[in-house]
């Protein structure tokens, strides 16, 4: 299919993006509830206008989830597009050059809160569907849309929604446009994310703090006991010593290791960028492998007793730590939380009481198999439009959506978006490149085509 | 000597105490500087009135130090009386039944800030000297007085003053009346105190906090490194693992251990009073020995990274702990601080930077030898007045004065005061028992006599 429909309507698409960006759908602010609903309505209308069917904004305990589909491609795969129409708060307002909810175009960039995360990307698959339906009267695949309004607050309603609407959401593959690339010149698709699981560890050694002069030498110290627990989690050579922690971890293929290691930063560059004096971590893995493919445990915070100036000779009765792990296939947050709990129980000195409380913010690890047909489809679609092979992006961080889709709908997720790393996501003066907007529309048009013959 | 002079003048002594208590000599409050000086003047006049010579209030960088002497007892020992004329703030004022600086007598108790800590005790040796000089025209020993006005703020000027006035302060023995007893019925003398030394440990692992998704697995974590350092300070069975920590520690005599252990609390009572679920500490020592005669290391506080609600996936670049040790003879604060420093250097993971900063609030440990002639003198003096043998009080806490006197003047310190533990030291409604006031004067009169034949 050629791109004449896109070219003809480009001005309108940009105006629509401006309209969408002008709705302050800040999901975290209770006073913006009306605006978040307005954005859900806007997305619903836009889907209908594109020719999608069964469009509805479904109420949840939080903000609405927008659904739409087109299911007339007999014997063809069904693709579920994911995105979110909510945005981060714009504060601090004084750091914006223009009003964050009055979009402004300058030098081929559109400025506004939500431009790169992810309202422009939300429009890409909608516009691609519209183009197919307008030009051909049909699509090469079946499509479903799932747009939530709570991504920026941790997607609290999404898992329940998926469970309650399993059959509605059945698909062969998901595509999330909540993605991007590191450099403007290099398209990319995200193939690997680490998961996340963590706990707060609470240690109690006495009913209350004690005077070290009166009791010191005979009573336990909560901070000391916590130090013992925390120290026991790691070996001196950088391995994780939590019992059974590596049990489920699978080694990456030689092909993938080679792929990662060819883009390895130089150790000195890595140290400089991190601002560290030395690197640590598991022996036998490169820095790239350590940060992208290996699980971690990190103390994110700890506190106990007196933190003020000078000296206070107290024996603290309580000590606390927050500990999170980055997970890799096939670890699960639940498994790791249970292993953390057992480890604390096994390694805490017996004279203290401990509590291990799971932290919110779980995410399953995710990896798109190297031989997944969707990966080939993306590569072909990008190549057709850009004459470049997209980079396979691996992220050491965590995005819950891929894990949720795998867990509740049972599908893999392709991650393809046209945001660039420098566009101020979550920051003032957020923007999006309009040439990426156009390019993205074309790639999504091609992607629908490429997916139609995929053997799922 | 009989006590007729004391009996005859008791009313005046109580009036003087009221006058002294009505001066709000709160050393920590800059706006009370004038009142602190007024108290120094009051003490100077009182010494002169008692017949002491060479009385002077010496300026320091802080509050004045009051000196006085009587040195005409040829070939007799010289006794240096120590005390402080400053008091703690009276706040919170609303918790006082009477105004803290308008002394009030009720049921044989005198109420007011400074009553038990330690203005009444300050008067005891002065009145004893006055009685001797008034009745006999001379004293059985030479005496010197050293009263400071900065005890409640950590005695910042005292060490310098002692160094600068070494010959002025030369003595055979010191007597501190800044002491007391646990029960009203049981006189006591303090024979053992633990010392105090501590450091703040600062760990830095990077120039700034890092994102655990981007860097986790390859970079050091300051909190983890601190946990390693802190855990290395103790063995699992409750011993201190700081290299060389016990080197200077001397075992107590069988006599002293027996003495301590006969007043041992029952383990269950101790656990209940401390509010702990289990006791810990060095094996082979009883709880009494652990808390009174053995050195300790305690983490008083620690902090690193994120302490708020929920999860923040940060790798903290800094971690901090405050660690103090209780010391026993012959440990010194300087030695222990140096050992802590070396231990941190030796045990910190090499990928982080550490700093070890000595904390203010050092105190030397103190122990009056069991065979010290002064101890016999106190026992005899108390027996003569009360027909009771004073308890030998050991304190697990720290009071710097005994260590300072040993270090700078080279004398042992007898600690004899008539405060009782329940008299609200540092608290609202502080008081002092007037029968203890009378008894204390008599014991000090006797003590001067008993010390005159001591072989120092």
Cα atoms found within 13 Å of the Cα of residue A214, Cβ hemisphere only: 11
If asked whether residues B65 and B134 sit together in one domain, one would say: yes
Give the helix/strand (H/E) hosting B357.
strand B353-358
Share the mean pLDDT of chain B. 95
Name the pairing type of β-strands B173-176 and B78-84.
parallel
Q: Are B347 and B229 in contact (CB under 8 A)?
A: yes
pLDDT tens-place string over residues B242-254: 999 999 998 999 9
Q: Which chain A residues touch B349 with a CB distance below 8 Å?
A: 236, 280
Helix (H, G, I), strand (E, B) or coil at B334: helix
Which of the four pLDDT bands, split at 50, 70 and 90, describes residue A309? confident
If asked whether residues B8 and B143 sit together in one domain, one would say: yes
**Residue A384 to residue A107: CA distance in whole angstroms:** 26
Contact A291 B360 (CB under 8 A): no
Q: Which chain A residues touch B202 with a CB distance below 8 Å?
A: none
Judge whether B255 lies within some domain: no
CA distance A391 to chain B (A): 18
Residue in chain B closest to A214 (alpha carbons) equals B396
Which of the four pLDDT bands, split at 50, 70 and 90, describes residue A320? very high
Of A305, A334, A358, the residue that ends a domain is: A358
B138–A contact, CB cutoff 8 A: no
Residues 210-239 of B with CB under 8 A from A: 210-221, 223-224, 226-228, 230-234, 236
**Residue B420 to residue B418: CA distance in whole angstroms:** 6
If asked whether residues A76 and A167 sit together in one domain, one would say: yes
- Residue B101: the pLDDT is 98
In the 8-state DSSP scheme, what is residue A184?
A: T
Q: Is the dihedral of CA A25, A28, A32, A33 positive or negative?
A: positive
Residues 179-208 of B with CB under 8 A from A: 194, 196, 198, 205-208
Residue in chain B closest to A326 (alpha carbons) equals B213
- Residue B230: the pLDDT is 98
If asked whether residues A205 and A160 sit together in one domain, one would say: no
If asked whether residues B111 and B158 sit together in one domain, one would say: yes
Contact B302 A301 (CB under 8 A): no
The domain spanning residue A436 has which CATH number? 3.40.630.10
Judge whether A42 lies within some domain: yes
Instruction: Give the nearest partner residue to B395 out of A213, A270, A300, using CB atoms.
Output: A213
Q: Are B265 and B274 in contact (CB under 8 A)?
A: no
- Alpha carbon separation from B194 to A8, A217, B254, B412 (Å, rounded): 87, 11, 19, 15
A369–B contact, CB cutoff 8 A: no
**Residue A57 to residue A46: CA distance in whole angstroms:** 12
A156–B contact, CB cutoff 8 A: no
Contact B396 A213 (CB under 8 A): yes
Contact A218 B270 (CB under 8 A): yes
Judge whether B254 lies within some domain: no
Quickly tell me which residue has 């699978």 as its tokens. A250
If asked whether residues B63 and B160 sit together in one domain, one would say: yes
Q: Are A313 and A211 in contact (CB under 8 A)?
A: yes
Instruction: Give the nearest partner residue to A301 out of B228, B275, B307, using CB atoms.
Output: B307
Q: Are A108 and A434 in contact (CB under 8 A)?
A: yes
Count of C-beta atoms within a 10 Å radius of residue A354: 19
Q: Which chain B residues touch A396 with a CB distance below 8 Å?
A: 213-217
Beta bridge partners of B174: B80, B413
Instruction: Give the nearest partner residue to A221 out of B299, B303, B305, using CB atoms.
Output: B299
Domain that holds residue A325: 195-249+295-358
Residues 268-327 of B with CB under 8 A from A: 270, 274-282, 287, 290-291, 294-296, 298-308, 310-317, 319-322, 324, 326
CA distance B146 to chain A (A): 27
Structure tokens at A348: 């805490």
Residue in chain B closest to A352 (alpha carbons) equals B277
**Residue B341 to residue B321: CA distance in whole angstroms:** 13
Q: For an interface test with A, which of B209, B264, B299 has the most A Cβ atoms less than 10 Å from its Cβ?
A: B299
Total domains in chain B come to: 2
Query: Is A87 buried (19+), middle (13-18) or exposed (0-12) by CB count in 10 A?
Result: buried
The domain spanning residue B231 has which CATH number? 3.30.70.360
Judge whether B290 lies within some domain: no
Helix (H, G, I), strand (E, B) or coil at A286: coil
Q: Which chain B residues touch A261 with a CB distance below 8 Å?
A: none
**Residue B357 to residue B253: CA distance in whole angstroms:** 35
Q: Is the dihedral of CA B386, B392, B396, B400 positive or negative?
A: positive
Judge whether A104 lies within some domain: yes
Interacting residues of B129 by C-beta distance below 8 A, sequence separation 6+: B50, B51, B52, B70, B139, B143, B448
Q: For an interface test with A, which of B217, B242, B271, B297 has the most A Cβ atoms less than 10 Å from its Cβ?
A: B217
Q: Are A175 and A80 in contact (CB under 8 A)?
A: yes
If asked whether residues B238 and B96 sit together in one domain, one would say: no
Helix (H, G, I), strand (E, B) or coil at B107: coil
- Alpha carbon separation from B378 to A236, B4, B255 (Å, rounded): 57, 22, 19
Helix (H, G, I), strand (E, B) or coil at A251: coil
Q: Which chain B residues touch A393 with a CB distance below 8 Å?
A: none
Share of chain A above pLDDT 70, in %: 100
Structure tokens at B45: 């006049």
**Residue A263 to residue A442: CA distance in whole angstroms:** 28
Judge whether B188 lies within some domain: yes
If asked whether residues B152 and B234 sit together in one domain, one would say: no
**Residue A240 to residue A295: CA distance in whole angstroms:** 9
Judge whether A272 lies within some domain: no
Q: Which chain A residues touch B221 with a CB distance below 8 Å?
A: 298-299
- Residue A102 Rama label (left phi>0; alpha psi -120 to 50; beta): beta
Count of C-beta atoms within a 10 Å radius of residue A298: 27
Q: Are A225 and B284 in contact (CB under 8 A)?
A: no
In the 8-state DSSP scheme, what is residue B179?
A: -
Quickly tell me which residue has 């398209």 as its tokens. A187
Residue B237 CA to its chain's centroid (Å): 30
If asked whether residues A188 and A326 sit together in one domain, one would say: no
Judge whether A31 lies within some domain: yes
Phi, psi for A365 (deg, rounded to 5) = -70, 160
Give the helix/strand (H/E) hosting B65.
strand B65-70
Interacting residues of A376 by C-beta distance below 8 A, sequence separation 6+: A450, A454
Q: Which chain B residues touch A308 with a CB distance below 8 Å?
A: 301
Alpha helices in A104-197 (DSSP H): 120-136, 158-164, 166-169
Q: Which chain A residues touch B305 with a CB distance below 8 Å?
A: 299-302, 322
If asked whether residues B387 and B437 sit together in one domain, one would say: yes
**Residue A334 to residue A136: CA distance in whole angstroms:** 47
Quickly tell me which residue has 């003495």 as its tokens. B259
For chain B, how far is it from start to end, CA to CA, in angstroms?
23
Of B314, B342, B358, the residue that ends a domain is: B358
Contact B311 A221 (CB under 8 A): no
Please tell me whether the peptide bond between A389 and the residue prior to it is cis, using omega within 30 degrees of 0: no
Contact A221 B281 (CB under 8 A): no
Q: Which chain A residues touch B396 with a CB distance below 8 Å?
A: 213-217
Instruction: Give the nearest partner residue to A313 out of B302, B303, B324, using CB atoms.
Output: B324
Average pLDDT over residues A33-62: 98
Which of the four pLDDT bands, split at 50, 70 and 90, describes residue A265? confident
Share of chain A above pLDDT 90, in %: 90
Of B358, B383, B399, the residue that ends a domain is: B358
**Residue A132 to residue B47: CA distance in whole angstroms:** 106
- Residue A367: the pLDDT is 93
- Residue B262: the pLDDT is 87
Ranges of chain B with pLDDT below 50: none
**Residue B403 to residue B412: CA distance in whole angstroms:** 9
If asked whether residues A202 and A114 sit together in one domain, one would say: no
Contact A298 B194 (CB under 8 A): no
CA distance A287 to chain B (A): 6
**Residue A404 to residue A66: CA distance in whole angstroms:** 17
If asked whether residues B335 and B411 sit together in one domain, one would say: no
**Residue B101 to residue B21: CA distance in whole angstroms:** 6
């Amino acid at each position: 299919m050629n791109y004449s429909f896109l070219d003809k309507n480009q001005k309108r698409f940009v105006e629509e993006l401006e309209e969408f960006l002008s709705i302050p759908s800040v999901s975290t602010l209770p006073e913006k509830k009306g605006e978040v609903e307005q954005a859900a309505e806007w997305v619903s209308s836009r889907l209908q206008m594109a020719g999608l069917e069964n469009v509805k904004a479904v109420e949840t305990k939080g903000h609405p989830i927008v659904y739409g589909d087109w299911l007339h491609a007999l014997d063809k795969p069904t693709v579920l597009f994911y995105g979110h129409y909510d945005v981060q708060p714009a504060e601090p307002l004084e750091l914006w050059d223009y009003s964050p909810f009055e979009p402004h175009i300058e030098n081929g960039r559109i400025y506004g809160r939500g431009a790169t995360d992810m309202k422009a990307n939300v429009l890409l698959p909608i516009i691609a569907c519209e183009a197919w339906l307008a030009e051909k009267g049909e699509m090469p695949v079946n499509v479903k849309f799932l747009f939530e309004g709570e991504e920026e607050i941790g997607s609290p309603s999404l898992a329940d929604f998926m469970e309650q609407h399993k059959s509605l959401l059945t698909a062969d593959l998901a595509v999330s446009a909540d993605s991007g690339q590191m450099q403007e010149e290099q398209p990319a698709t995200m193939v690997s994310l680490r998961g996340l699981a963590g706990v707060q560890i609470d240690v109690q050694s006495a009913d209350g703090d004690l005077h070290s002069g009166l009791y010191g030498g005979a009573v336990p110290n909560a901070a000391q006991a916590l130090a013992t627990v925390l120290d026991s989690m790691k070996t001196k050579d950088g391995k994780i010593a939590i019992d059974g922690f590596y049990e489920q971890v699978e080694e990456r293929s030689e092909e993938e290791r080679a792929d990662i290691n060819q883009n390895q930063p130089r150790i000195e560059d890595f140290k400089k960028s991190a601002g560290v004096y030395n690197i640590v971590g598991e022996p036998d893995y490169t820095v790239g492998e350590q940060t992208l493919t290996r699980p971690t445990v990190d103390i994110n915070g700890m506190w106990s007793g007196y933190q003020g100036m000078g000296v206070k000779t107290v024996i603290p009765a309580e000590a606390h730590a927050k500990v999170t792990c980055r997970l890799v296939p096939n670890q699960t947050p639940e498994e790791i939380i249970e292993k953390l709990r057992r480890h604390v129980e096994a390694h805490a000195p017996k004279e203290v009481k401990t509590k291990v409380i799971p932290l919110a913010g779980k995410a399953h690890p995710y990896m798109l198999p190297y031989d997944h047909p969707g990966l080939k489809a993306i590569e072909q679609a990008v190549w057709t439009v850009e004459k470049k092979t997209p980079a396979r992006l691996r992220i050491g961080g965590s995005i819950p959506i891929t894990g949720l889709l795998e867990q509740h709908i049972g599908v893999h997720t392709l991650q393809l978006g046209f945001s660039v790393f420098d566009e101020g996501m979550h920051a003032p003066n957020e923007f999006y490149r309009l040439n990426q907007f156009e390019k993205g529309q074309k790639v999504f048009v091609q992607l629908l085509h490429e997916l139609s013959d995929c053997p799922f």
